[in-house]
Structure 1
Amino acid sequence: MTRPYPTDLDLTELIGPIQPPRVKELRAVTVATPGGSISVDGTSGALGNETDTKLLLGLREWADVILVGARTVIAENYRPSTTPIAIITRSLSLEPGHRVLGGSPLLLTPAAALDDPRLAGRREALVAAGARFLPTGQGSPMEILAALHAEGLVRVTCEGGPGIYAMMFGADLVDVWHLTVAPVANAPVDRQLFHVPADGEGFHRRLALDYLAATDDSTVFLRYRKSVEPGGSGQVR
Structure 2
Amino acid sequence: MKQITFEHIYKLGIIVAENDLYRHYHYPKMLTRYDSNFIEFKTLPPLPEFQEAEVYLREYHLRKGQKHVKFYFPANIKPTGELVAYLIDMGYQVGFLELYAIQPKHFPLVKNNSDIDIQVVTDKSLEALLTLQYKHDLNYGSQFAGQKADLIKRQFEDQNIQQLLAFYKGTPAGYVDVIISNETAEIDNLTVDELYQNKGIGSRLQKYVMESFPEKTVILVADGEDTPREMYKKQNYQYHGFRYETQKVYLD
Same fold (TM over 0.5): no
Which of the pair has more CA radius of gyration?
Answer: 2
The TM-score with structure 1 as length reference comes to 0.29
Between structures 1 and 2, the one with greater helix share: 2
The TM-score with structure 2 as length reference comes to 0.27
